[in-house]
Amino acid sequence: MHVAETVAREAGELIRTGREGEVSVAATKSSAQDVVTAMDLASEALLRRRLAELRPGDGVLGEEDALTQSSSGTWWVVDPIDGTVNYLYGLPAYAVSVAAVTSPAGTDPDPATWTVLAGCVVAPQDGRTYVAGLGQGATLDGQALQVNQAQPLIDCLVGTGFGYVAARRRSQARVLAELLPQVRDIRRIGSAALDLCALASGGLDLYYERGLQPWDLAAGSLIAQEAGAVVTGLRGQPAGEAMTVAGPPARVHDLVAYLEASGADQDS
Ligand code: IPD
């Protein structure tokens, strides 16, 4: 936990101070709207350099660079800026996400099979630091976290997010349009890591999203779980790119049932 927090804080400080200057777009990814800023690249470079110093032999899976292999059996899964579009627009909901994971022997880190050992999400704009260790609970700035008690679906504030490709968005919009009348309201915060931390700290009652990448969910999923949430996929699958659903155990199945019935894990 200590290493995750140390490097996440350092990267957070880099991107917070970097936001005071001009934010330049360095590249695009899945669509022209899916941007990478120069600070995404600088933050990941810092994370990789510091992890190599502090944990030589561990591998790194990051959003902006190639997988580096592990000789120790531990990987660091890092998102140098989660919420890049918020960062670009000067909105505060962006974060650095760092997690330590182990994988079954001979396999690369994959949310379907990994075990997340520790995670830290830093929101540098307001300094909030979320930390969790497997079996050790989750904290926000040192205070223990606990998800909200299960409410009827109609009383739930539900977080979600959208991909950057039009075909996926069309299907996400269809699923959302049917869900909206069944819940209290919807939030689209713009950072999956912060969505999962909001769930852990009572700022959301439920969360779901299709399309999350390993770095979007590694640290946040442990923080949510250690705060008492179930984090799962649909149709008995673990959380991952097809679908991630999170919430208190007594309510998450209602959302899972709706998402399965509406085919939310497919693009139509
Ligand atoms: C994005 C954010 C967003 C989610 C997108 C992600 P990025 O990550 O987590 O909330 O809806 O699916 O790609 O690109 O800002 O690191």
Q: Could you report the average pLDDT of every consecutive run of 10 residues in the chain (268 residues)?
A: 95 94 80 84 97 97 93 96 95 98 93 98 97 98 97 97 94 97 98 98 98 98 98 98 97 96 92
Residue 250 CB neighbours (<10 A): 11
Where, residue-wise, is CATH 3.30.540.10 in the chain? Answer: 2-144
Residue with CA nearest ligand 1 atom 16: 82
Distance (Å) from CA 218 to ligand 1 centroid: 13
**What is the model's pLDDT at position 223?**
98
- Note whether 87 and 81 are within 8 A (CB): yes
pLDDT at 32: 81
Tell me the HSE value of 110 on the side-chain side, using a 13 A CA sphere: 10
Task: Say which amino acid occupies 161.
Answer: G
Pocket of ligand 1 (CB under 6 A): 63, 79, 82-84, 161-163, 190-192, 209, 211, 216
Secondary structure letter of residue 234 according to DSSP = S
Class (C level, CATH) for 2-144 = alpha beta
pLDDT of residue 187: 98
**CATH 3.40.190.80 residue window(s) in the chain:** 153-261
- What would the two tokens of residue 51 be? 């992890």
Question: Ligand 1, atom 2: nearest CA belongs to which residue?
Answer: 191
Give the distance, in angstroms, between the CA of residue 159 and the centroid of all CA atoms in the same chain.
12
Q: Which of 86, 216, 244 to mutate to test the pocket of ligand 1 (most atoms within 8 A of CB)?
A: 216
CA 193 – ligand 1 centroid, Å? 8
Specify whether the CB–CB gap between 97 and 82 falls below 8 A. Answer: yes
The CA distance from 218 to 260, in Å, is 23
- Whose tokens are 């580096």? That residue is 68
Q: Which atom of ligand 1 is nearest to the CA of 87?
A: 15
Amino acid at 101: V
Which amino acid is located at 139 in the chain?
A: T
What CATH number has the domain spanning 153-261? 3.40.190.80
